[in-house]
Amino acid sequence: MPRMLCIAVGLLTLVGCGQEPSGEPSPFELGKPAPPLGVEKLVQPTEGATATWKALRGKVVVLEFWATWCGPCVSAIAHLNQLADAFKDRPVQFIAITDEKEDLVRRFLGRKAMRAWVALDTDRSMFRDYGVVGIPRTILVDARGVVVGDTHPTMLSAAVLESVLAGRPTGLPERPNDLETVSAPESGDQENAAPLAEISVRRRDDSEGSMWSTDSRGWEFSGCALQTIIEAAYDARPYQVLLPDDLSDARFYVKAKVAGGREAARSLLQATLTSALGLTLRREPRELEAYRLLVPPDGTHKLTPTVMEPHAGAHGGSGTDAAGMMNYTLSNQTVAALCETLGSLLGCPVLDETRLEGRFDVLLVWKYGEREELRKAVREQLGLELQPTKHTVEMLIFDARPNGQALAPP
């Protein structure tokens, strides 16, 4: 069995939402003074506001790079608004920076409130100076004007801001790792166009963290658990997948991209994984613990209708702070999609019995790892009930093929 499978060669830049800025980004570093605030205009500042480091001296500043069309950015607004409200009487200033046109931004703000100065960077000078090629991205600057954090908005918490205010380390990793990203729009340059097909699988047991991304052509996983990759390949929930013990903690680099679209990439990814890892698949129905998602008897709930444009996709993201509190955001999601997310978090099926239609933006905050805390958060924050039940599920059971050999570590 070969230790590495690689078909086709090509380069594809995978970033968060967003287009790559023109020109080379200026270097900026943690622990160094922040680059200039080169915004052209503040759309909704407080009276007398001035976006310069001189004017903001003595304040902790949260720079949020975002766009109205970016699903993960919009998902994070509710979380950032909560933090802005919590610190409104403290020396903390939130500034949301976009490269979009003023009329588009103002229309969006008419539908979705933001508790921040909204700044226009139409020449993208700040995007370049801060090295921003993917959004959302959050930069923390302390009261001295020094960069102390570079992260994703879902990783920002009240505890992190308190640490910066007190002059202590933030406790944030240098970069977020296991967060969904979305590929940049493809270039029309045929010479540099993506290849028609790419498939690559190799073992990667290291401590560099994990990241995965998806676009219309397929997936790319870096340092991800096989469980995560199998779920994407078979469109399965975590509770449906059973792997051999020796692969339960294995991590891999996997790329599956096909010009024919994601479903073609899915078929190729399934065949490649089972072949390269020496696995067979059998499907077996089993009755599992489950929950019914219900609207309370009085018919009321707290779900917020989405502010995303009708053509925008659905997105989600999560982050856990130092206190173990999970922030989970969803934007432009149906209740059925919410049930899938809750099922992944609870480790069991969640059945949609709400009869609610439409799409919603959701923010959930709870103590990570505590099932009852999540049920409580759903009840108190979304106004919905999770009622225990049983449900039969088709399990995907992977077994080692006789004389099969999984890819060894590099």
Note the pLDDT tens digit of each residue in 64-111.
999 888 777 887 888 899 999 999 999 999 999 999 989 889 988 988
Over residues 179-207, mean pLDDT? 56
Q: Say how far apart CA 384 and CA 378 lie, in whole Å.
A: 6
Residue 230, C-beta contacts closer than 8 angstroms, at least 6 positions apart: 236, 241, 243, 273, 396, 398
Q: What is the pLDDT of residues 144-173, one digit of tens each?
A: 999 999 988 888 889 999 999 999 988 886
Measured in residues, the chain has a length of 410
Short-list 287, 386, 307, 383, CA closest to 345: 386
Q: What percent of the chain has pLDDT over 90?
A: 36
Nearest to 225 by CA among 216, 240, 212, 235: 212
More confident residue, 15 or 50: 50
Tens of pLDDT, residues 259-271:
777 788 888 888 8
Using CA atoms, how far apart are residues 128 and 3, in angstroms rounded to an integer? 40
* 11-38 pLDDT, tens digit each: 222 233 433 333 443 457 888 999 999 8
Cα of first residue to Cα of last residue in the chain, in angstroms, is 14
Q: Is the pLDDT of residue 4 over 80?
A: no
pLDDT tens-digit series, residues 309-330: 766 666 767 777 667 788 888 8
Rounded CA gap, 240 and 260, in Å?
Answer: 28
Q: What is the pTM of this model?
A: 0.57
What does the alpha-carbon distance between residue 400 and residue 366 come to, in Å, rounded to a whole number?
38
Confidence of residue 10 (pLDDT cuts 50, 70, 90): very low
Report which of 80, 61, 59 is spatially closest to residue 156, judged by C-alpha positions: 80
What separation in angstroms does the CA of 326 have from each of 165, 190, 348?
A: 22, 43, 19
Q: What percentage of the chain has pLDDT greater than the value 70?
A: 81
Model pLDDT, residue 5: 36
Domain extent listing, the chain: 41-165, 194-277, 288-394
Strand segments, DSSP code E, in 243-337 are 251-258, 279-294, 304-305, 315-320, 325-333
Say whether domain 41-165 belongs to CATH 3.40.50.300. Answer: no
